[in-house]
Amino acid sequence: MLRAVIVEDEYLAQEELRYLVEKHSDLEIIESFDDGLAALKYLQTHPVDVLFLDINIPSIEGMLLARSLHADARPPFVIFTTAYKEHAADAFELEAFDYLLKPLNETRVKGVLNKLALAAAPTDTLTEQRHTLHLMRDNRIRITDTADILYAAANEKTTLVYTPDGEFYVPYTISELMTQLPANFFRCHRSYCINLDKITEIEPGLNSTYHVFLPGISDPVLVSRGNLKAFRERMQL
């Protein structure tokens, strides 16, 4: 079970967040603080997995507190909670996990908690269960057989995953996704991986590339020149 701390100087806001977290996740909230310095002293000797952090708090503001923890060997997932959306850019520069605007929206909080559960899942557990993946869309998790996945596309720090039921995403990179997929998936480009069993047509492209067509997908997926030889070997072309 993941352990969490709330740092929020308004008591009612603390209680609302605690209620929503306990309602929609298995997180264990072990402490709450209304002061940044008190929270920092505690966190220096009590490492936690998740930190819900308001920005405008007494003693040490939230950004400074997050920055001081950022250098730790294993920093917590930081989720900022604030009424001021202009701080969003600074939050993500600190590689914050997410950003919740107040007043809190229950659906949004639930979505962030679902995303957190996926991101914090042990890699070995995911690998053991690689015949299925937890895909996300509209704040819901879809448990999907990997045999149903057509292809995936890199999207910054997340990865878009395409199935016959449409577009989903996972909250990690395409390289991390590849470690969880079975052998019939092929990294055809730095931005794409494809399910070789789903290919319906292969078309030669320019500059020693291929275009791969998949059922229900209008645009072909590119096989880059650097991956062409391995692709030809896998497909016995």
Residue range(s) occupied by CATH 2.40.50.1020 in the chain: 123-235
- Mean pLDDT, all residues of the chain: 87
Name the CATH superfamily for 123-235: LytTr DNA-binding domain (2.40.50.1020)
Which residues are 28's β-sheet partners? 3
Main-chain dihedrals φ then ψ at residue 54, nearest 5 degrees: -75, 155
pTM across the whole model: 0.54
Name the CATH superfamily for 3-119: Response regulator (3.40.50.2300)
Task: Write the pLDDT tens digit of every residue in 92-120.
Answer: 566 788 888 899 999 999 989 988 888 87
Q: How far apart are CA 206 and CA 196, in angstroms?
A: 21
Task: Write the pLDDT tens digit of every residue in 40-68.
Answer: 999 988 889 999 999 999 988 888 898 88
Mean pLDDT of 12-20: 96
> Residue 187 pLDDT > 90, yes or no?
yes
Q: CA dist 63 to 72, 81, 232, Å?
A: 15, 11, 51
